[in-house]
Copies of this chain bind each other. A is one copy, B any other.
Amino acid sequence: MAVYTEVSDAALSRFLGAYDIGGLLSYKGIAEGVENTNFFLHTTAGSYILTLYEKRVNEADLPFFLNLMGHLARRGLACPQPVRNRDGTALGRLCGRPAVIVSFLEGVSVKAPGAHHCRELGRALAELHAAGADFGMVRANNLSVSAWRPLFAQAEAQADEVSPGLSGRTRGDLALLEAGWPADLPGGVIHADLFTDNVFFIGDGLSGLIDFYFACTDAFAYDLAICLNAWCFTADGAFRRDMGEALIAGYEAVRLLEPAEVAALPILCRGAALRFMLTRLVDWLNVPPGALVQPKDPREYDRRLTFHRQAADARAYGFAR
């Protein structure tokens, strides 16, 4: 939650000179987003977010993310739309960093969601999958099953210091997931990081989705599994079956899951939990001195894995057809 790069009024004014978005009225650094620097930008033409991409984003991936946001917005999905400059390109440079202006999306992230929010989320997730169907670019999911063993190798020696027995549990999960990870599920564009931070509500209604910087091409049901992990557990790790039911029902109100997806849901949920446990574990063990960002606790996902290991089938997650 930090502004990593200071942008002077003079540098910003030069940058804005390439865009047709009116005169600058105000801009404020936003204490939000772990990976990038974001500014709220107000001009005579409207409100925008200016993002400077810091080192953790691979610049080669930016065209995929930006084209995807533009595509989804044109398909009617409520998401930030990149603004093109007068040369017709959305990707610029500011203060030595790749930089983009996107439309500002109103809405508030819900810290403690309920079943109603999950139903709205499920619907929006299925709409995102549908809106991405005719998107022409592909980006492999570089944080899927083949990435987990190398990630674990970076943390294995210290894993048991974080949680006793974590190392052995993770080795067991890895063996099972690598052997049984499903192939050939229906897929396409997935968000892959739809945590509560990235979903906006106004009142009771979902107003939009943000932060497409983990989006990739993968199984739709894996995206649902990520949301089940991110939204449907209480702070102390208990699964909220009513929220799972609402999430799945909301999704299926737009797109019915196929039998293979239903059958795969437990292993996808277990894999999604392992993916977030592992990236959090690596970050947890590698906090740079003077870090501005508090790392997230990997043990939250260790606790979710306990639930996933005993889930017999999709009914355990609230699948009710």
User: Residues of A with Cβ closer than 8 Å to B?
Assistant: 1-3, 8-10, 12, 23-32, 40, 42, 104-112, 200, 202-203, 290, 292
> Separation in Å of the A11 CB from the closest CB of chain B?
9
What are 6 residue pairs bridging A and B, where the CB atoms are less than 8 Å apart in the complex? A9-B108, A9-B111, A10-B111, A25-B107, A26-B106, A26-B108
Q: Are B200 and A112 in contact (CB under 8 A)?
A: no
Contact of A112 among B10, B40, B112, B202 (CB under 8 A): B10
In the bound complex, residues from chain B placing their C-beta under 8 Å from that of A105 are: 26
In the bound complex, residues from chain B placing their C-beta under 8 Å from that of A28 are: 28, 30-32, 40
Q: Are A110 and B9 in contact (CB under 8 A)?
A: yes
Complex Cα distance, B47 from A104, in Å, reads 14
Excluding A10-B112, A30-B30, 20 further A-B contacts by CB distance (< 8 Å) are A2-B2, A2-B31, A2-B292, A9-B109, A9-B110, A24-B108, A24-B202, A25-B106, A25-B108, A25-B202, A26-B107, A28-B30, A28-B31, A29-B30, A29-B31, A30-B31, A30-B40, A31-B31, A290-B290, A292-B292
> Separation in Å of the A99 CB from the closest CB of chain B?
17
Complex Cα distance, B108 from A40, in Å, reads 12
In the bound complex, residues from chain B placing their C-beta under 8 Å from that of A111 are: 8-10
Q: Are A1 and B3 in contact (CB under 8 A)?
A: yes
The chain B residue sitting closest to A111, CB to CB, is B8
Contacts A30-B30, A30-B31, A32-B29 given; does A8 touch B106 at CB 8 Å: no
Contacts A29-B30, A31-B3, A112-B10 given; does A23 touch B107 at CB 8 Å: no
In the bound complex, residues from chain B placing their C-beta under 8 Å from that of A27 are: 108
Complex Cα distance, B283 from A108, in Å, reads 36
In the bound complex, residues from chain B placing their C-beta under 8 Å from that of A42 are: 106
